[in-house]
Amino acid sequence: MTTAWTIDGVRTALTEKKISARELATEFYKRIEARNPELNAFLALSPERARKQADRIDALIAAGKPLPAMAGVPIAVKDVISTRGIVTTCGSRILKNYVPPYDATAIERLDAAGAIILGKTNCDEFAMGSSNENSAYGPVKNPASTDRVPGGSSGGSAAAVAAGLAVAALGTDTGGSIRQPGSFCGVPAVMGSYGRVSRYGLIAFASSLDRIGPFATNVKDVAAVLGVIAGRDPHDATSTTAAVPDYQKEITKPVKGLRLGVPKEYFGEGMDPAVRQKIEAGLEIYRKLGCELVDIRMPHTDYAIATYYIIATAEASSNLARYDGVRFGLRVDSDSLLAMYRKTRGAGFGDEVKRRIVLGTYVLSAGYYDAYYLKGQKVRALIAKDFRDAYEKVDAIVTPTSPVPAFRIGERSQDPLQMYLADIYTVTGSLAGVPGISVPCGKVCGKLPVGLQIFGAPFAEARMLQLAYAFEQAGGASV
């Protein structure tokens, strides 16, 4: 039995009747049973739902009917995305037993395309973190080196794909939470443009930043999953009406002659020399493919982390106000309503979530709104302008995904600033609303993956994926 399944491989095996969808789902549950105790990538499994979907696919095959795009493909889902009938905790004690009554739009679309939902993956609590150590249910371990973090907040999804426990997975990205785990675990990871994928059913952290996107073992597969989940949704007013291209068709186009911007601000102080060497080798691949590398300036990059942690925490403070012990989730009874609120939130939220709620409440408060939140929005506009200006000169922007490889579990947990700086190269694209992908770009220390990040222009995911595919096919993962 193959250990490295792909979407095409699943389809071929099913249509040639080398394996049934039910047998394939069973194989993946055996893999999860064997490795999850070590990795802690999954928080909940959904075998009954998976079997029903597998039987549906097997019935289509038996009847000789056409198969949908994701037929029989085992997929893992980050535990902040609503799944009907499956416990969805957001990695938090406050939602320990919450079971959504509906599927997120992205899940509905995967379900309609024949995908098999294996279960829910571990994540930083409410997607707040860069290491997956903030989960109330323990940290995820990186399959590349189990003493290291997998990245956050979608570490469980990245680890599940990297360890072969799912063919693809969904994560969410607010400031780097898809791309950075993809980098740390050595798998392609995509954040589409803001509005490209519906957020309906995504339990909100920061509504102007949150995005759903895929992980897989190769660029063609992330392109396939993105093509299924993308597109306008009447349930999400921020979703775009822009047409969804055939990404799998677009990625095979040649990249010769494309102009790639290389911003010097992304190669500064704090970047691991070994990571720099791998990224420079990756840029050389593009040069050999016939791309033109163009030095560009993105002058407001240095303000991105501060801007992000003002805007994101402000929105988190607002979004998390709903967890009060009254309507759903944890309730700690007390002798007064105020005491019940206080005790419920005190017991239900972890330290990082509390820190961000306090920061967000502070920057929104009457005396500080103009000095912090309003100013943060103005700087966000300047960062977005940096990207717009760049795309007048280049077709895409190429940077490191992270300044460092995966760090050791516990290494930064007592230093929030150092933890936040792990996202220094990813938050810019989040603030600007542009799409980004991390693709594997060699390894350092013999085993720790490095990610190369490609930013596309708004809704130009096809061009971004085209560049990622060319890089992958040229051997970029082993530079």
Give me the residue spans of the domains in the chain. 7-249
Q: Does the pTM of the predicted model rise above 0.85?
A: yes
Say if residue 34's pLDDT is above 70. yes
Q: What CATH homologous superfamily does 7-249 map to?
A: Amidase signature (AS) domain (3.90.1300.10)
User: Catalytic: which of 20, 78, 82, 278?
Assistant: 78
What does the pLDDT read at residue 59?
98
Band of pLDDT at residue 2, cut at 50, 70 and 90: low
| Mutual angle of helices 105-112 and 219-229, in 10-degree steps | 110
User: Catalytic: which of 153, 198, 430, 438?
Assistant: 153
User: Catalytic: which of 145, 177, 239, 317?
Assistant: 177
**In whole angstroms, what is the distance from residue 350 CA to residue 205 CA?**
14
78 is annotated as an active-site residue: yes
Say if residue 158's pLDDT is above 60. yes
By three-state DSSP, how is residue 437 classified?
strand
65 is annotated as an active-site residue: no
Which residue is it, tokens 């302008």?
385
**In whole angstroms, what is the distance from residue 361 CA to residue 355 CA?**
10
Band of pLDDT at residue 328, cut at 50, 70 and 90: confident
Q: Are the CB atoms for 428 and 265 separated by under 8 Å?
A: no
Say if residue 187's pLDDT is above 70. yes
Q: Is 115 left (phi over 0), alpha (psi -120 to 50) or beta?
A: beta
Find the radius of gyration of the CA atoms of the chain.
Answer: 21
